[in-house]
Structure 1
Amino acid sequence: MEKKAIKVHPQDNVAVALIDVWKDNVVQVEADEVKLVTDTKAKHKFSMVDLVEGDKIFMYGVLVGKAMKPIKRGEVLTVNNVKHESNQAYKKTEVTSWDAPDISKWKNRTFNGYHRPDGQVGTKNVWLFFPLVFCENKNIEKLKDVFENELSFHKSSRQRLLLRKLIHGEDSDVMIDTEPEESAIFDNIEVKFITHQGGCGGIRQDSASLARLLSGYVNNPNVAGATVLSLGCQNLQIDIFKNALKRINPDIQKPVLIYEQQQMGTVEEMMDTIIKESFDGIKKANEIKRKPAPLSKIKLGLECGGSDGFSGISANPALGYASDLLAALKGSPILSEFPELCGIEQELVNRCVSDETAERFIELTRAYEKAAIASGSGFDMNPSPGNIKDGLITDAMKSAGAAKKGGTSPIEDVLDYGDYVTKPGLNLLNTPGNDVESTTAMVGAGASVVVFTTGLGTPTGNPVAPVIKVSSNSTLARTMPDIIDIDSGGVIRGEKTIEEMGEEILEFIIQVASGEVESKADQLNQDDFIPWKRGVSL
């Protein structure tokens, strides 16, 4: 018999519809039979009990909402009858303990990565170009055009070829689906380019924050070297950037080429110098080869975006199990998106390895939420229209499912935005819930691979780290196969366990980290980069 609904945790008083179910249908939920009093679409929740106004609603075993009006047993939950409600964390109340998963089949596994002088190991070998201020974006774009065209890193897109055919007429010899292959000049290095809108014009704290982020990108194990452009008069001075880099890595041995336009004369003279010296650095970086490394060298970003009502019961807990395996292997998973940890703070506080770590998390979370409220918003306004449409109707409900990405392992460290991961085990990183801002920050904190779960689909990628997409449902995997790497829909159908899916994700991470498989985001050249602007603009 097809399973129509599931109760995620024994303490829950709601269930999740696995398929569309209709009014007057009788649905089996474990040993209970519930007659629906409203139509309920797949991914949405219905009440297992009669609720009166003010009654608490539990899912994943935690408080996720409160009834705004009476809700009948078998009635669907909506934004009209439920509002956000969550527990608040104040202090650590339990001793941290963990039943780690069996890692016997993984402990001798390796991946083939790029070994850096400081002991980090990258999954890619990237030469990175970026500006310290938006005034240099145009020069970065010129350099991108020169290097990508001459080094043949990207061939023409199908859309560009289609337009070419339209220009030359339907009878032209231009082929849309094929193009003569151009081999890259270098086979062991990628050249990537970042632009941004920061570095000047805002408060000084924004520039300092951007400096920490950019220095984290330079220090990321996937980066072999960097070319940095400065105008000269901006808030983010070269010295600020150098000090931020020194703070992360006092003895960095990578080549970092820095150019200041106001000290170099004409644009042509500056660009000629940059191209010559950067080409020499790229040529040397191409000589670095992959070598075996233990899985403990992987720093794994845990991300979700375009979440749906299945994300918290398939893709996220499966990624959480992969995270637990990596943590047990002394790797470094990174859980971010603080607005999407709302309601499960107490659980996270109790998982912190020390009182100091717990206090750090509480302090950062409270400060962030206070700032959000002061701006006229709040964590309770986090769910997007897409989230709500697909069953995530309160922030606590969304957060409880999103936090499953972090598994169950102890939290070894809590970092603020711009900090760099140095400890093995699970790390919490303070970032927004916005997909690209969060992914951008985790790579700046050292993530060498990112796994991104999604229920609705998103093309997000990163210029430095491969981003692996896991769909929460098979419909998405079939609809958008060009962006989805792994389909976890088998968990919803009962064909795979969370543990089996988690092991499949870890296996895929190893393949991507070794360069054996290219993530779909990298195939699409999806290089997204958005810094978090925490201050006001002046």
Structure 2
Amino acid sequence: MREWPESGKMLSWIIILVLKSDSQLSYISYMNVYLQIHPKDNVLVALKDLPAGEEIAFNGDTITLLNTIPAKHKFTIEAIAKGSPVVMYGVLVGKALTDIHKGDLITVNNLEHDANAFHDKDANYAWQAPDVTPWKDRTFMGYHRTDGQVGTRNFWLVIPMVFCENRNVGVIKTAFEKGLGFAPAETYNSQVEDLVSLYKSGNLDAVKTYEPHPTTHQIQRSSVFPNIDGIKFLTHEGGCGGTRQDSDALCALLAGYIHHSNVAGATILSLGCQHAQVSILQAATKKLNAQFDKPILVFEQQKLGSEFNMLSTAIKETFMALVEANKLERKPAPLSKLVIGLECGGSDGFSGISANPAIGHTSDLLVALGGTTILSEFPELCGVEQELINRCETEDNADKFIRIMRAYESQAESVGSGFYMNPSPGNIKDGLITDAIKSAGAAKKGGTSPVVDVLDYTEYVTKPGLNLLCTPGNDVESTSAEVGSGANVVLFTTGLGTPTGNPIAPVVKLSTNTKLAQKMPDIIDIDTGSIISGEKSIAKMGEEILDYVIEIASGNVHAKAEILQQDDFIPWKRGVSL
């Protein structure tokens, strides 16, 4: 019998066998070389670059690799005839375009998207919650709102109702950020000034050899309002010129941001004649909370006249509102008040076996503690719909999920697209050949808990537990929507490196592999590559992530996206321009 290596040493070989329900990650890994994610799979994932001709021992068989297999990519364990299924994560992820030989590399040239059909809920779901004893009495320091929500940050918003007001928002942004000390450090301004000085001196050689010195970014806080984390400005390109559906959706999304636990109140700039009327926004906030009592300051340019008159009035009244917002202080709150968005972007072939299942376990822990999580990106649930349908607690939620998924796919096909076109060139290059492969891995972000609610775009979470939210796969549109639906922290996995952030919610970036974390340390908060190396289990990493979230939520730690002021915000336009 072999001895396990001493603790702390790199494993030169490893055999792991985890067989749970089909909804849970179960895999066999041999020698840190390759991985079979599910016993039903007829492909293996390379954990490192494997040369052509190498012989792979698997389940008593020998597989000779016919091609070089880059890390993150897949190769077959058996011959697969043209038109036959390729299975990964235990589900159908494509069908063979050609005869694929045993030991072949899976590519876009020999595999096309295919996925299992889905239908009505046909099974009850039993969930065994993880042990959460270590977190049972834990709290985080948050901002308690009158409606019972608890924020992880305390922001004031400045919002245009229509793109015509973006310039005016920019004027207020410059005035407040400089006046209150929220303006970012002018790192690159000084570089340009240095280059100008060298150029004016006639020293072109010095310009060519100029090497700037990197600076450390820091969170900018105001000495005037220490309890306010910042003023955020949600500029956008909507509000008029599109369909009424899109302007109504924009108002609903903005209402979600104003209602959000991380927001103290908002300043609204309106032109006056746009589709997205202030009255629609006000009705949307009342729909979210009939007793809505946050201050909303509205300034309509076509009523107030000159730009100077409107902006001067807006600045003065906003300043007075900040005085009140600054009176709120952090106080202890139960972890059940956390609402975590589960997001991915720039995914790679390791996403579904490291970072995604890790935050899936974090989701399960939080749900077991009475908290709330949000899984979105509906095009990236293609092929795993039946599992999610069967995890729905009610028939109504299952039916709603089916209805939204079918309508979304139909709409995409009506404009000559489809979910099968979802993988990006970067996804494909790093092993996500079909949308079904990408989706099977992306769904692991949702862990294993039951689905308590299904939300259409802009609907706000009201039930603790795992919620499904309809959004596109676009990173920023989806993250913007998760926060608009109540997420006060977002866990964002990436294999290629995506800087996405959000104006009002901390977005914690998790790398799927250590190489990325080392290459882009300015955007990565947590490295889950230790799962790939075998140093940590998925459960252990998920637990560490929850501990980190508590620190983020309390304001003790700031996400890299916050430090860089990566305030991305893009509403989803579901209609067409008119």
- Fold match, TM over 0.5? yes
Please, which of 425, 429, 432 is the counterpart of residue 392 of structure 1? 432
Aligned match of 1:338: 378
* Whole-angstrom CA distance in 2 between matches of 1:178 and 1:491: 32
Once residues 16 and 5 of structure 1 are traced to their aligned partners in structure 2, the CA distance between those partners, rounded to angstroms, is 5
Of 270-279 and 156-165, the range deviating more from structure 2: 156-165
Conserved? CA contact 1:116–1:122, under 8 Å: yes
For the Cα contact (< 8 Å) 1:228–1:257, is it kept in 2?
A: yes
**Which residue identity is paired with 2:44?**
A
- Who is 1:103 aligned against? 132
The CA distance in 1 between the partners of 2:367 and 2:37, in whole Å, is 24
Deviation at 1:22, TM superposition (A): 1.1
| Alpha-carbon distance in structure 2 between the residues aligned to 1:492 and 1:300 | 24
Q: Which runs of 5+ in 1 are unaligned?
A: none
2:262, 2:544 → 1: CA distance? 23
Give the match's secondary structure for 2:69: coil
| Counterpart amino acid of residue 452 in structure 1 | F
Cα distance in 1, alignment partners of residues 526 and 60 from structure 2 = 32
Which of residues 366, 379, 383 is equivalent to 2:406?
366
Structure 1 equivalent of residue 560 of structure 2 = 520
Q: What is the DSSP-based 3-state SS (H/G/I as helix, E as strand, rest coil) of the residue aligned with 2:140? A: strand
1:136 aligns with 2:176: no
Q: In the superposition, relative to structure 1, how do residues 412 and 309 fare at CA in structure 2: closer, same or farther (>3 Å)?
A: same
Partner residue in 2 for 1:504: 544
Partner of 1:347: 387
1:116-153 deviation per Cα after TM superposition (whole angstroms, max 9, x unaligned): 00000000000010111111111000000100111111
Aligned equivalents of 2:184 and 2:513: distance in 1?
32
* Normalised TM-score (structure 1): 0.97
Change (3 A) 1:353 1:179: closer
CA deviation map 1:290-342 (0-9, x unaligned): 01101110110000000000000000000100000011111110000000000
Residue 93 (structure 1) aligns with: 122
Correspondence for 1:325 among 355, 365, 373: 365
Shift in Å at residue 288 of structure 1?
0.8
| Residue 533 (str. 1) matches residue 533 (str. 2) | no
d(CA) in 2 for partners of 1:402, 1:117: 36
Distance in 2, Cα, partners of 1:216 & 1:180: 30
Pairing partner for 2:194 from 165, 168, 172 = 165
SS of structure 2 residue aligned to 1:276 = helix
Change (3 A) 1:316 1:30: farther
Change (3 A) 1:296 1:55: same
User: 1:448 maps to what in 2?
Assistant: 488
Q: Quick one: which amino acid aligns to residue 120 of structure 1? A: Q
Asked if 1:11 is matched to 2:40, the reply is: yes
Q: Deviations over 1:149-172 (max 9, x none)?
A: 111112433211211222334999
* Separation (CA, whole Å) in 1 of partners of 2:113 and 2:574: 25
Question: Structure 2: how far apart are the matches of 1:280 and 1:176?
Answer: 40
- Given that residues 125 and 223 in structure 1 are in contact (C-alpha distance below 8 angstroms), is that contact kept between their aligned partners in structure 2? yes
Aligned-partner residue type, residue 144 of structure 1? K
- Bigger mean CA deviation after superposition, 88-97 or 376-385: 88-97
Q: Say which of 143, 146, 149 aligns to 1:117.
A: 146
| Structure 2 length-normalised TM | 0.91
Equivalent residue for 1:47? 76
> Does the aligned pair in 1 maintain the 2:50–2:71 contact within 8 Å?
yes
Count matched residues. Answer: 536
Write the letter of the residue equivalent to 2:267: T
3-state DSSP of counterpart to 1:312:
helix
Which ranges of structure 2 fall in alignment gaps of 5 or more residues?
Answer: 1-11, 13-30, 207-211
Task: Give secondary structure in 2 for the equivalent of 1:143.
Answer: helix
Q: Secondary structure at the match of 2:134?
A: coil
Which one-letter code corresponds to 1:193 in the other structure?
F
Q: Which residue of 2 aligns with 1:459?
A: 499
The residue matched to 2:93 in structure 1 has which SS? strand
Residues 436-455 of structure 1 deviation map (CA, whole Å, 9 limit, x = unaligned): 00000000001100010000
Of 469, 486, 495, the residue aligned with 2:535 is 495
Aligned-residue offset at 1:188: 1.6
Shift of residue 187 of structure 1?
1.7
User: 2:185·2:217 contact (CA, 8 Å) conserved in 1?
Assistant: no
Matched, 1:148 2:177: yes
Matched, 1:288 2:317: no
- Aligned with 1:188 (options 227, 230, 255): 227
Q: Secondary structure at the match of 1:414?
A: strand
Mapped to 2, the partners of 1:101 and 1:375 lie a distance apart of 44
3-state secondary structure, aligned to 1:432: coil
Residues 492 and 176 (structure 1 numbering): CA distance in 2 closer, same or farther, change over 3 Å? closer
* Amino acid across the alignment from 1:477: A
Rounded to whole Å, the distance in 2 between the matches of 1:282 and 1:30 is 65
Distance 1:179 1:349, change over 3 A: closer
1:48-69 deviations in whole A, cap 9, x for unaligned? 1111111111111111011111
State the identity as a percent: 57
Q: Residue 81 of structure 2 contacts residue 96 of structure 2 at CA under 8 Å; is this kept in 1? A: yes
3-state SS of 2:570 partner: coil
Alpha-carbon separation, structure 2, partners of 1:420 and 1:505:
25
Matching of residue 238 in structure 1 with residue 278 in structure 2 = yes
Residue among 343, 356, 380 paired with 1:316 = 356
Gap change, CA 1:365 and 1:177, over 3 Å in 2: closer
After alignment, is 186-195 or 368-377 more displaced?
Answer: 186-195
Aligned equivalents of 2:56, 2:522: Cα separation in 1: 35
The answer to whether the 8 A contact 2:489-2:553 is kept is: yes
Residues 409-420 of structure 1: matches in 2 within 5 Å?
409-420=449-460
CA shift for structure 1 position 384: 0.2
Q: Which amino acid is 1:212 matched to? A: A
Report how far residue 29 of structure 1 moved: 4.1
Distance in 2 of aligned mates of 1:155 and 1:475: 29
Letter in 1 for 2:556: E
Distance 2:59 2:325 in 1: 58
Task: Give the secondary structure class of the aligned counterpart of 1:38.
Answer: coil
1:177 positional shift: 5.4
Q: Provide the C-alpha distance between the structure 2 equivalents of 1:416 and 1:178, rounded to a whole number of angstroms.
A: 43
Once superposed, what is the RMSD of the aligned Cα atoms? 1.7
TM alignment of 1:373-388, pairs within 5 A:
373-388=413-428
Letter paired with 2:568:
D
In structure 2, distance between residues paired with 1:238 and 1:534: 21
Selected match of 1:476 from 516, 520, 523:
516
Please list the CA deviations of residues 67-98 of structure 1 after superposition, one character each: whole Å capped at 9, or x if unmatched.
11111111110000001010121100111210
- What one-letter code is carried by the residue in structure 2 that aligns with 1:403? A
Distance 1:475 1:511 in 2: 25
Whether the 8 Å contact between 2:217 and 2:564 is mirrored in structure 1 is no
The separation in 1 between residues aligned to 2:510 and 2:60, in whole angstroms, is 31
SS at match of 2:569: coil
Change (3 A) 1:159 1:180: closer
Alpha-carbon deviation of 1:33?
3.7
Greater Cα shift, 401-410 or 187-196: 187-196
**Structure-1 separation of matches of 2:561 and 2:77:** 40
Give the deviation of 1:385 after TM superposition: 0.2
Give the C-alpha shift of residue 530 in structure 1.
Answer: 0.3
1: CA distance between counterparts of 2:213 and 2:517?
A: 25
Offset at residue 176 of structure 1 (A) = 5.5
Corresponding position: 1:26 with 2:71: no
Task: Give the stretch that moved more between structures: 205-214 or 258-267.
Answer: 258-267
Cα pair 1:161 1:176 within 8 Å, conserved: no
Deviation at 1:37, TM superposition (A): 1.3
SS class of match (2:549)? helix
Is the contact made by 2:157 and 2:263 (CA closer than 8 Å) also made in structure 1? yes
